[in-house]
Amino acid sequence: MKREQISKNIVADLKELAALTSDADGAQRVAWTPTFKKATEWFTQKMQAAGADVWTDAAGNSWAKFAGESKECIVIGSHLDSVPDGGWLDGALGVVAGMGIGAYGLADKKPAKTLYVVGWADEEGVAFGKSCLGSSAVSGIVTSKDVLPLIHQENGRSFSDVWQEYGLDANRIGEAHTAFAKLPVKAYLELHIEQAPLLALAKKSVACVYGVCGCNRQYITFRGQQGHCGSPVALRQDAFIAAAQTTLDLREIALKYDSYCTVGNIEVKPDLTTISPGYCRISLDQRSIKPETMQTIVAEAKAAAQKHAQDGRLTVEFEPIWQAAPILFDAQLVEDCNAAVEEETGARHSMYSAPLHDAVPLNAVVPSVMMFAQSDPGISHCKEENTPQPQLEEAIRAFIRLAEKELGTSFAE
Residue list, annotated binding site for Zn(2+): 79, 90, 124, 192, 381
Of the candidates 252, 261, 315, 253, the residue with the CA atom closest to the CA atom of residue 284: 261
Contact 377, 384 (CB under 8 A): yes
Vertex 367 angle, CA 296 and 4, to 5°: 110
Contact 123, 36 (CB under 8 A): no
CB under 8 Å to 27, separation ≥6 — which residues? 18, 21, 82, 83, 85, 86, 87, 88, 90, 92, 383
Extract the annotated binding site.
79, 90, 124, 192, 381
Of the candidates 276, 402, 261, 305, the residue with the CA atom closest to the CA atom of residue 344: 402
For residues 70 and 384, what is the distance between their CA atoms, to the nearest angstrom? 42
Contact 374, 367 (CB under 8 A): no
